[in-house]
Amino acid sequence: MKRLSWVFVAAMAVAAAADPDAEIGALAERLGSADPDVRQKALPDLEALADSSPERLLRLLEHTDPEVAAAVRSILEPRGIFPEPEKTQRCQSLFKLLSTTPPGAQGRRKLVEELLELGGPAVTRLAIELASEPNCQAMPAATRVIAAGVKTKLALQARNAGGAAFWWSPATRSIYAFEEPFGRRRAGGMGSSRFSCGTGGARESTETPEELVIRALTTLARVPAGAIFNIAEEDYVPARRVFYHVTTSSNSSPSSLPLEGVFSGRRVRVDPPNLDARPTAIVAALSESQAAGFKGRIIRNTAGRWALEVTALEEHAAPVSKGIYDPFWWVAEGEGGLVRGNGSLREDEAADEAWTKDEVRVIPLDKNLPEGTTRLWLGLDVTPGGAQLVPAPVDAR
């Protein structure tokens, strides 16, 4: 009995040495089958293994059946999988670094050059990604408060909803914003201002096609599948206390594109796509502001309502109102700086009069604050697009 046990163990050891991975061996048999239907049905299993455990397929690259080796190579190469595990690891690392290192950043060119020098599967994967058609979804953004007069990064985001990474040129998108006063009574026209960012440099005729491709890749952004990214961003100092309706505008692509170069015998084409996602956002620029000739504060009136008390320090002409907007306005701010509501302090058209020196007016907010309000802002646009009186906000909890 003891002898039989040793014979059994020895037989199993021989079998394991002949085929250490029975699943891979069975897959190889299907890939090398004379029946084309069997070979075709084996491909999904091959792709699944390439995604989950590519190292288990490496030995099949040296399979005695050239059709099996070719089938495995055709699946591994587009994924950047090398026969040498250390090269595969470096290839994956470089693609990740190119996703997190901003275009134009110091050291990005070296990452591109090293990726291309790896050759083979690295170049194949890069060429496939560069040819990928993006599927982008605009990300919704809640209306939030930012500080007027302070540099703020305005950013609009999208998500790569496709199944593959893609490369694109951030220089082709800019931030575009429309201004809207807070005291809106009903829908109407809005003023606008545009913030733009620069585009890439000009093509240098002394560079080889390969050098041009490398330089172009340093200016492109790589977005992995499922990643959320800034489709447009801009540093801006909002001067006015208004809503900024932020959207994107398209800039022209550099005239040097498309470009082509050959690396390790493989052609790489750089022709970044235009992204169809058009995310939007609204931000409320707010901060205290003292208008010349006025002073103000937020109080409770005799009826217990929040109100804006304004004192004229000198004579003033009547505030100019276009009817669409009331120069007296309110903004309710909630947790996390989210805007809970806004509008006119006076819902009906009011006949504004000139101010006399030392005159005091109290304009109440004749409505309940939205649920979740933590801070209340009240203000006066003394002149359209000009001076504004915004006293310190109050805790409205």
* Domains identified in the chain, total number: 3
pLDDT digits (tens, 9 = 90+) for 204-233: 458 899 999 999 999 999 999 999 999 999
Which CATH number fits the domain that encloses residue 377? 2.60.40
335 assigned to some structural domain = yes
On whether both 217 and 306 belong to a single domain, the answer is: no
Domain that holds residue 154: 134-285
3-class DSSP state for residue 387?
A: coil
CB-neighbour burial class of residue 35 (10 A; exposed 0-12, middle 13-18, buried 19+): exposed
pLDDT at 14: 44
3 assigned to some structural domain = no
121 assigned to some structural domain = no
Lowest mean pLDDT among 158-162, 169-173, 240-244: 169-173
On whether both 152 and 71 belong to a single domain, the answer is: no
118 assigned to some structural domain = no
On whether both 143 and 274 belong to a single domain, the answer is: yes
DSSP 250-279: EPPPPTT-SEEEEETTEEEEE-PPPP----
Among 285, 320, 355, which residue terminates a domain?
285
109 assigned to some structural domain = no
127 assigned to some structural domain = no
pLDDT digits (tens, 9 = 90+) for 62-72: 888 888 888 98
d(CA 388, CA 14): 88
Q: Name the band, by pLDDT with cuts 50, 70 and 90, for residue 310.
A: very high
pLDDT at 271: 93
Asked whether the beta carbons of 374 and 338 are under 8 A apart, the reply is no
On whether both 361 and 387 belong to a single domain, the answer is: yes
pLDDT at 193: 38
On whether both 181 and 266 belong to a single domain, the answer is: yes
CB atoms within 10 A of CB 18: 8
On whether both 298 and 276 belong to a single domain, the answer is: no
Lowest mean pLDDT among 28-32, 86-90, 327-331: 28-32
On whether both 357 and 384 belong to a single domain, the answer is: yes
pLDDT at 207: 87
Tokens of 88: 């595969």
Q: What is the mean pLDDT of the chain?
A: 86
The answer, yes or no, to whether residue 198 has pLDDT greater than 60, is: no
On whether both 257 and 148 belong to a single domain, the answer is: yes
pLDDT at 186: 53
Among 285, 304, 335, which residue terminates a domain?
285
Phi, psi of 49 (to 5 degrees): -70, -35
pLDDT at 321: 59
7 assigned to some structural domain = no
Among 285, 318, 334, which residue terminates a domain?
285
On whether both 62 and 157 belong to a single domain, the answer is: no
On whether both 280 and 224 belong to a single domain, the answer is: yes
On whether both 304 and 243 belong to a single domain, the answer is: no
On whether both 349 and 305 belong to a single domain, the answer is: yes
5 assigned to some structural domain = no
Q: Output the pTM of the full model.
A: 0.78
The answer, yes or no, to whether residue 159 has pLDDT greater than 90, is: yes
